[in-house]
Amino acid sequence: MTADGLSVQLTAPNGRSYTQPTGLYINGQWVKSDGGVTLASTDPASTIVSVQSGSKSDIDKAVAAARAALKAPAWKNLQSSDRGRLLYRLADLVDEHRETLATIETRDNGKPYTVALNEDMAEATGTLRYYAGFSDKVFGQVMELSPDKFAYTVREPVGVCGQIIPMRQHRRAQTRRADPALDPVLRQSHRRSRLSPGVVNIINGPGSEAGAALATHPDVDKIAFTGSTATAREIMRMAAGTLKNITLETGGKSPLIVFDDAELGNAVEWAHLGIMSNQGQICTATSRILVQEGVHRRFVDAFKQQIREVSRVGDPFGETTYQGPQVTRAQHERILQYIDVGRAEGATLEAGGERVGDRGFFVQPTVFTDVTPEMRIFQEEVFGPFVTIMPFRTEEEAVALANGTQYGLGSAVFTTNLTRAHRVARAIESGMVWINSSNDCDWRIPFGGVKQSGIGRELGEAGLEAYSNVKAIHVNMKSKL
């Protein structure tokens, strides 16, 4: 612990040592929370470190710092190309510290280190560089209305934005919003990339206090949230008090349809990745697999074999580990409860169904068949390595089953018939459809859902639009009315 009590030296199980800030980051400084309350950051077995827990008064300070930075000439008048250079520098810093950042990510949420290091860091730097390149390419329009009048539009920042980041995918969520909140390297990020104090502020805290204060704050212009649909409804209600701009990326129960002409091996591999990667803790996880009845049994057997060969559960720092622990005890228990629900509803447990070991939040990859559309395990988001596999007869039935939940985030279609692939993709009610793959997102492509899976889009050019307002300027050239 340092003299000010706001950072500690830690050594992770993989041997990497790093200095971990434990304070709140407000106006360019690490500070203690007003209330002096702390939160425990835990791995599956023990407390890693205690960090300051922000309260409403801490949110007030952070929002005031952000509002001041927004209006300060040093930031307000910074040219767009210079903003782009700041993001490029931040991307370079992520590359420089990628092993440390990946270590923190793995230790905090349990995902395999190889995934955090290779996939998450690649997406983080790719997203930062994508938007860095876009920074000086945001243009308005000119509209000639008559010889005496024209108008033009400009895009302006939406203002002070509150980002509520999920614990399961810190780096990806941060950079998807071009938010350079890079915990242990943030101090030198500001120094070396010359970000003005107050541009980025980080408040650790419970959603019921810090999150609520952010969602209701009159000086916050936008709230972006990733998490459960139920929590998003509450955030939307709170944000309505000041008519905030919102982007909500919420729950999902995404379908994956396999037609009998699909390349079965390819479908099995992608279907496994689509639900079992990141311990199943993916909002877009394709957790409802629908297989045409002629190949249903073959698919189920091949899918179970894929689990046996690939889904190695264990230490997330292990080189061959595919599935680490669930992110929290509550999530671990939730999955086990849904396994009990599936049994009680009469579904057949094909694989898994048990916790792994007597220490930590590990659970076996779980597969249920003999599922019917009204079952809770078919309708409700489990958010874990938990999948249902159900047969269908016709294309129409497959589409009806795919659309038969309140969610509409992701979906996937496997077929070698391209006409059918595009037809079904258009018929599925979701914000994203993968054809012959699953969950291979890209920062250059819009991301978001429909129905109860969210509002708005992130990533791609649409991600920039979500954080700007269009101002129309009318120009009259007549000398008389």
- Cα–Cα distance for residue pair 383/335, rounded to 1 Å: 7
Q: Is residue 287 part of a domain?
A: yes
- Whether 182 and 79 map to the same domain: the answer is yes
Model pLDDT for residues 88-107, shown as the tens digit of each residue:
999 999 999 999 999 999 99
Query: Tell me, what's the pLDDT at 177?
Result: 47
Q: Which residues contact 4 (CB under 8 A, 6 or more apart)?
A: 30
Asked whether 264 and 436 are in contact (CB, 8 A), the reply is no
Q: What are phi and psi of 319, to 5 degrees?
A: -65, -30
Q: Is residue 471 part of a domain?
A: no
Q: Is residue 1 part of a domain?
A: no
Domain that holds residue 45: 7-250+457-465
Q: Helix 80-96 crosses helix 186-193 at what angle (to 10 degrees)?
A: 140
Q: Helix 98-109 crosses helix 80-96 at what angle (to 10 degrees)?
A: 70
- Whether 299 and 317 map to the same domain: the answer is yes
Q: Which residues contact 437 (CB under 8 A, 6 or more apart)?
A: 270, 412
CATH of the domain at 274: 3.40.309.10
Q: Which residues contact 317 (CB under 8 A, 6 or more apart)?
A: 12, 13, 14, 106, 113
Q: Is 323 helix (H, G, I), strand (E, B) or coil?
A: strand
Does the pLDDT value for residue 468 go beyond 50? yes
Model pLDDT for residues 447-457, shown as the tens digit of each residue:
999 999 999 99
Residues annotated as catalytic (active site), given as ranges: 249
Does the pLDDT value for residue 288 go beyond 50? yes
- Cα–Cα distance for residue pair 159/336, rounded to 1 Å: 43
- Whether 179 and 322 map to the same domain: the answer is no
- Whether 371 and 336 map to the same domain: the answer is yes
Q: Is 458 helix (H, G, I), strand (E, B) or coil?
A: strand
Model pLDDT for residues 191-241, shown as the tens digit of each residue:
555 678 999 999 999 999 999 999 999 999 999 999 999 999 999 999 999
Q: Is residue 334 part of a domain?
A: yes
Distance set, CA 136 to CA 87, 127, 140, 378 (Å): 12, 16, 12, 46
- Whether 349 and 244 map to the same domain: the answer is no
CATH of the domain at 114: 3.40.605.10
Nearest to 170 by CA among 222, 264, 104: 104
Q: Work out the average pLDDT over 370-392.
A: 98
Alpha carbon 260 to chain centroid, angstroms: 33
- Whether 315 and 166 map to the same domain: the answer is no
Query: Tell me, what's the pLDDT at 168?
Result: 54
- Cα–Cα distance for residue pair 250/169, rounded to 1 Å: 14
Burial 182-218 (b: 16+ CB within 10 A, else e): bbbbbbebbeebebbbbbbbbbbbeeebbbbbbbbbe
- Whether 173 and 73 map to the same domain: the answer is yes
Q: Is residue 303 part of a domain?
A: yes
Nearest to 401 by CA among 258, 298, 301, 201: 258
- Whether 306 and 240 map to the same domain: the answer is no
- Cα–Cα distance for residue pair 251/265, rounded to 1 Å: 28
> Torsion angle of alpha carbons 408, 414, 418, 424, nearest 10°?
-30
Query: Tell me, what's the pLDDT at 194?
Result: 65
Asked whether 72 and 196 are in contact (CB, 8 A), the reply is yes
Model pLDDT for residues 26-85, shown as the tens digit of each residue:
999 999 999 999 988 887 667 788 999 999 999 999 999 999 999 999 888 989 899 899
Sign of CA dihedral 78, 80, 81, 87: positive
- Whose structure tokens read 């280190």? 113
Q: Which amino acid is at 267?
A: A
- Cα–Cα distance for residue pair 113/139, rounded to 1 Å: 40
- Whether 219 and 179 map to the same domain: the answer is yes
Residue 24's DSSP bridge partners are 31
- Cα–Cα distance for residue pair 216/439, rounded to 1 Å: 33
- Cα–Cα distance for residue pair 353/206, rounded to 1 Å: 31
Beta strands in 109-264 (DSSP E): 142-146, 149-157, 161-164, 222-226, 245-249, 255-258
Q: How confident is the model at residue 166 (pLDDT cuts 50, 70, 90)?
A: confident
